Structure 1
């Protein structure tokens, strides 16, 4: 009986070991089977990322070509054309703006809407202030918008620091003589005082 028990025990142990071996082998087999699958999934993810990057680059190249051909583009038509969200297009345009390909412009509707406004005081920030060449900015759209606001304002007040004096940018907004008030800092050169007096501009130095 003891021998039988030993044999039975041994038999049970062998069955158990075979069962465990079989389970482990099965698990290893699944792992081996999963490795190609996992690799395929990783490759698919990588391919997807590359595709997204390629699509983004291609879309931005096409938008750049449109800008060069047409001179301007709008968010909504681009969103519909490329089948992406307007937020995606805005990111594209922001990227192109950062890289000097495009500049943000104010829509004609924005400028037209100012026709119905009457501004009491307009505080005008400037990029360049030259007594002879006028008040200027880097961006044409900004110059257009500012000129329209100047037309509707009763009092035009320029606010600038001394570093802007003598600087001339590409797009002119108005002549210096069109100002009513100039607010600047104590470092403003003396010729600004003289010009303000000659043109009848109220000058305030902080």
Structure 2
């Protein structure tokens, strides 16, 4: 009976975690509850059969997240959460930029940290993000190209047909792609459809695609898919990157850099 009670309590806690976080990972749950990976997988199968979540590679996702109802955090809160991780990731990403490069910095708070970390050297930066523009403006050696369009105040970035069309004549060395959701099975996703459209255009224009994200985004899925994980050349994240993502970097062939 004790085992039954423990199982029931553990499954209740897993249910609460997936609702709070939007997703859970098998390895993290096994460590948290001190049980085997097989036990956690059995728990997730049971909860999925109850309609509480959907199984995904390496874990499970809240059904609300798959439906696109995982809410987008407010811009002000995104600027400060996981800030130290984002700063380290931005500095690591800046080390990949060489004099003479043309790069795209996607919208997002990690992209702003990359812009802050860039040295004042002869490069061209293309962006649709107001915060990235503000960070680069005091650096006179950096040539800035702003993708205009309609300002979305929810994340202070420009979107729309004008923004997408501006990329038609541009070829860039590197794209630094921000992430709302990163799931090994469902790919890189975002809350906002025009952002997904724009990001796919950015991927087409870039010789190298580099995702920059803190580990809180792993296992999360938003409504609008940008690209599959196999489209990445490089992923830059923090030391909390889970084992399944580390293993996928070897199996899927993208470079993993930890900040």
TM-score by length of 1: 0.50
User: Which structure has the highest helix share of the two?
Assistant: 1
- Considering only CA atoms, is the larger Rg found in Structure 1 or Structure 2? 1
User: Which structure has the highest strand share of the two?
Assistant: 2
